[in-house]
Amino acid sequence: MGILAPYRSRQAGTKALQEIISAAHSHTKPKIVSVYLHVQDNNEDARRFYERHGFKLVGIDPDYYKKIEPHGAWILEKDLSIQQPKND
């Protein structure tokens, strides 16, 4: 998911992420228990955004991206089995 700079700080990313998480929560066959994502390892703003929304760093892949620099990615996970606050 990416939000263009002019639309950041307008809750567009938060609303989009909430819709994704809500859809994952409502999927029951099979039940989705985790959501994973990757963030380029120089994108501190994106990492903080996802961490504010309950994602945890679970790994680093130093060669995830093949065509862009840097190649490294942080792998983040949100455990959907944990009850989340309504604003998440």
State the Cα angle at 75 between 72 and 80, rounded to 5°.
170
38-77 residues labelled b (16+ CB within 10 A) or e (exposed): bbbbeeeebbebbeebbbeeeeeeeebeeeeeeebbbbbb
Domain-by-domain residue ranges, the chain? 5-79
Task: Give the integer Cα–Cα distance in Å for 46 and 41.
Answer: 10
**Global confidence as pTM:** 0.84
pLDDT at 2 over 90: no
Burial of residue 3 (CB within 10 Å: 0-12, 13-18, 19+) is middle
Domain 5-79 belongs to what architecture?
Answer: 3-Layer(aba) Sandwich (3.40)
Tens digits of residue pLDDT in 60-85: 999 999 999 999 999 999 999 876 55
Tens digits of residue pLDDT in 39-54: 999 999 999 999 999 9
- Tokens for 37? 């994502």
